[in-house]
Amino acid sequence: MNSVVAENPVTREPAAVSGQKLPLSRKIRAYIHLTKPQVIELLLVTTAPTMIFAAGGFPNLWLILNTLVGGAMAAGASGAFNCYIDRESDRKMKRTEKRPLVTGELSDKEALIFAWVLAVVSIVYLWLLVNPLSALLGVVAIFLYVVFYSIFLKRRTSQNIVWGGLAGCMPVFIAWAAVTNSLSWAAVVLFTVIFLWTPPHYWPLSMKYAEDYKAAGIPMLGAIATAKSVSVQVVLYGWAMVICSLLLVPVGGAGWVYTLSAVIAGGWFLYNCHKLHSLAAQEKATSRTAMTVFHGSITYLTVLFIALAVDPFVGGPVMSGALI
């Protein structure tokens, strides 16, 4: 970056100057920000519950901790790579104006070195303290997010978030592999639930920030399609997601706690999706309506996976002879 002092448009305080020595605490915060901690938090919501369900109870606590730490580092490395790759686009978007490569708190070189180091450490950590399969799945997760999504898909297709969302599904596989050292059809169901969840989660957000994405030249569906068209896709993916979540009953032996939660939370989320579509069809949809679906998707996923964690401790499977 050049050495001109940038002004933060929100606080109106000078941003960091390239080459200027920052206090250690601020530097650490910048590195943490680079990892996209809000994304890591969402990914970890799915990890521990999946481990508990796979084990049919509580796995070894050290195994849970090491899987969470290794997975968080892998996700953080992916986020850091993404910030480096998207640094020019981020400078054109209000939503990303506080990222450390935009403010100048970190240099491009610092970010790239940090991303590589964190990626290598995360894979070695998973290999040594969890198992090799989880480490290999961690490599796949990083590759999918950094190369497949950030480099190849994001600027080439409006379906970028659909296939790029594969990376966000990988924590389920890593969690299952950590406990069983294998994968199963139940893990595939959970993987697919998150895959189908990603579009109705992210496309409403892209509706709100449509102008940002247009300015950056990123063809997110919410930025290039009408609200009605986006809402149709949100509804379709929402229904597919809820139906898929119920497959865990016959395939994975899920009990009544998970089943009831999947039905109630799924029905509530679908109501919000249909409300968005109804308003969009009348050309009355607003960014507030879209963000209701966005935040609702997070609530839905959290409830579903909390139920997944509780399920092994309360009652038996709804359907006998389930394939676990």
In this structure, the number of other CB atoms found within 10 A of the CB of residue 185 comes to: 13
Distance CA(300)–CA(306), nearest Å, equals: 10
Do residues 104 and 199 both lie within one domain?
Answer: no
Q: Which of 86, 197, 178, 189 is nearest to 132 (CA)?
A: 178
Distance CA(79)–CA(183), nearest Å, equals: 26
Higher pLDDT, 322 or 147: 147
Ranking 18-32, 63-77, 110-124 by mean pLDDT, the lowest is 18-32
**133, 153, 182 — which closes off a domain?**
182
Residue 321 has pLDDT above 60, yes or no: no
Q: What's the CATH number where 113 sits?
A: 1.10.357.140
Do residues 148 and 57 both lie within one domain?
Answer: yes
Residue 247, H or E segment: none
Distance CA(68)–CA(103), nearest Å, equals: 30
Residue 319 has pLDDT above 80, yes or no: no
Residue 20, H or E segment: none
**150, 165, 182 — which closes off a domain?**
182
pTM, 2 dp = 0.88
Q: Which of 155, 151, 183, 154 is nearest to 170 (CA)?
A: 183
Contacts of 9 (CB under 8 A, 6+ apart): 94, 97
Number of domains in the chain: 2
> Three-state SS for 317?
strand
> Three-state SS for 14?
strand
Residue 16 belongs to a domain: no
